[in-house]
Amino acid sequence: MSKRFIITIITILTIMISAGIVIMLAKGYTFSPKEMKVVGTGIMTISSEPDAASVFLDGHLTTATNATVSSLAPKSYSVKVVKEGFIPWEKLVEVKEGLVTDLKVTLFPAIPTIYPLTFNGIVNPLLSQDGSKLAFIVPKGKKAGVWVWTQTRNQPIAFARTAEPHQIANSTVADFSSANLRWSPDSKQVLATVDQNNYLLNADSLNTNPRDITPILAATLNEWEEDIKQTQQSRILTIGDAKFRKIASDSALLRWAPDETKFMASDQNTKMKIYDLEERKEYSLPEAKAYLWLPDSRHVILVEEGDIALVDFDGTNKAIIYAGKFEDSFVFPWPDSSRLAIISSFPTPTASEPNLYGINLR
């Protein structure tokens, strides 16, 4: 056997051993001098919005987001993420041998900014089926009538010119001050009921001569209900897990996460739960009067008596965002999850009318 051949074999073996060591280190394995052997560890990656937050593992300041923590012994860790001016985030996180645990943390302001969005007074707000449009009524004044605010996912509605509210029906048609509104399933039309009249309004433009569909109202509503039912059934049929599919089918209250990887439903005890279709896990939510998805699909809005809170979809990290007066338990989120909006008023001569107010989440 030649010397060159032996050197080649040794070189190949060295490369293979080195590659194996690199792969094992990447998977979280390390050599323990105490045990004198290679032991399995785990890795935790932690990112946050906003970033540069302090990360504590089991009470010890370990790193700052965004970062990777390697060589963690497999077990459950108390993880706390803290940043000045924001509500702390804390959770018990399990690290498994040879796996990467990925944490994406959203920190919410400890003192959110609240500011007016409308100034003419509004009543009867209603969010469209797809969450992209808000219909509401200005009850009096020169701008009295039905209005629609179209939201865009990439731009907050407060700053997007194309998303400014526009009037779709005015007081020359009817007195809409106490009208009941209803969105069509495709979010393209608004049904405004005034006394015995039912006006079908195009949601994208001013309706100078709207159609009164009272003679065909029942048929129209039945068609809408059937469209909603078929859409819901189609979604349910996409659920691969038979148990979760039955839960979704049997639930009287079913709300899908915007990315459709989870759904919210009430169980037999009317307890609200989240069902994660990817992880095949279920989580209980804290008690609340109403529940809404934040558009990021990772948080749930809890509407309670006198306050509004956000929780992670697994029911942990409840953060009270607003405590105070707001009308009719009404809350709706921006498509980019940057803000919430409520209806409120203030006991002053110039701010006593209910108006939309924004609450910053970033």
Percentage of the residues of the chain whose pLDDT score is greater than 90: 69
Q: Using the predicted structure, report yes or no on whether residue 338 has a pLDDT greater than 80.
A: yes
Q: Return the closest-CA partner of residue 256 out of 240, 233, 227, 281.
A: 233
Q: What is the pLDDT of residue 130?
A: 85
Strands 166-170 and 180-183: unpaired
Q: How far apart are CA 329 and CA 320, in angstroms?
A: 15
Mean pLDDT score across all residues of the chain: 88
What are the b/e assignments for 167-202, b being 16+ CB within 10 Å?
A: ebbbbebbebeebebebbbebebbbbbbeeebbbbe
Quick one: 198 and 149 in the same domain? yes
- Within this chain, do residues 354 and 223 fall inside the same structural domain, yes or no? yes
Mean pLDDT value across residues 158-166: 58
- 82 occurs within a structural domain: yes
Do residues 150 and 297 share a domain? yes
Q: How far apart are CA 331 and CA 147, in angstroms?
A: 18
Q: State mean pLDDT over 27-47.
A: 68
Are 159 and 55 in a shared domain? no
- The range of the structural domain enclosing residue 301 comes to 114-237+285-360
Amino acid symbol at 91: K
- The reply to whether 156 and 178 lie within a common domain is yes
Domain CATH for 60: 2.60.40
Residue 256, domain member (yes or no): no
The gap between the terminal CA atoms of the chain, to the nearest Å, is 70
The answer on 196 and 59 residing in a single domain is no
The pLDDT tens digits of the residues spanning 284-311 come to: 999 999 999 999 999 999 999 889 999 9
Q: Taking residues 231-259, report their average pLDDT.
A: 92
For the chain, give the percent of residues with pLDDT over 70.
Answer: 87
Whether residue 290 lies inside any domain: the answer is yes
At 92-121, the pLDDT tens digits run 999 998 889 999 999 999 999 999 998 889
Band the pLDDT of 154: cuts 50, 70, 90.
Answer: very low
Is 186 within the bounds of a domain?
Answer: yes
**209 and 339 housed in the same domain:** yes
Looking at residue 270, what is its pLDDT? 74
User: Residue 345's closest CA among 163, 133, 120, 110?
Assistant: 120
pLDDT exceeds 70 at position 160: no
Rounded to an integer, the average pLDDT of 196-203 is 96
Residue 49 lies in a domain: yes
- Kindly state whether residue 25 falls inside one of the protein's structural domains: yes
Q: Does residue 261 sit within a domain?
A: no
Radius of gyration of the chain (CA): 27
User: Could you tell me the CA-to-CA distances from 335 to 157, 163, 293, 297 in Å, in that order?
Assistant: 9, 12, 11, 11
Residue 343 placed within a domain: yes
Q: Is the pLDDT of residue 8 over 90?
A: no
In total, how many domains does the chain have? 2
User: Is beta strand 54-57 parallel, antiparallel or unpaired with respect to 114-116?
Assistant: unpaired
Q: Is 273 exposed, middle or buried (0-12, 13-18, 19+ CB in 10 A)?
A: middle
Is the pLDDT at 161 greater than 50, yes or no? no
Beta strands in 97-194 (DSSP E): 100-106, 114-116, 123-127, 133-138, 145-150, 166-170, 180-183, 189-194
Residues 274-289 have a mean pLDDT of 94
For residue 15, the model assigns a pLDDT of: 75
Q: Say what the pLDDT of residue 266 is.
A: 86
**pLDDT for 203:** 95
- Asked if 149 and 83 sit in the same domain, the reply is no
Question: Is residue 99 located within the same domain as residue 206?
Answer: no
Residues 356 and 291 in one domain: yes
Which of 106, 137, 172 terminates a domain? The answer is 106
Q: How far is CA 353 from CA 161, 177, 246, 262, 327, in A?
A: 25, 14, 46, 38, 11
Q: How many CB atoms lie within 10 A of CB 35?
A: 8
Q: Residue range 44-65: average pLDDT?
A: 94
Q: Which of 83, 106, 129 is the last residue of a domain?
A: 106
Looking at the structure, do residues 79 and 132 belong to the same domain, yes or no? Answer: no
Last residue of a domain, one of 43, 74, 106: 106
Q: Are residues 223 and 313 in the same domain?
A: yes
pLDDT in tens, 70-79: 888 999 999 9
Q: Return the closest-CA partner of residue 247 out of 268, 218, 229.
A: 268
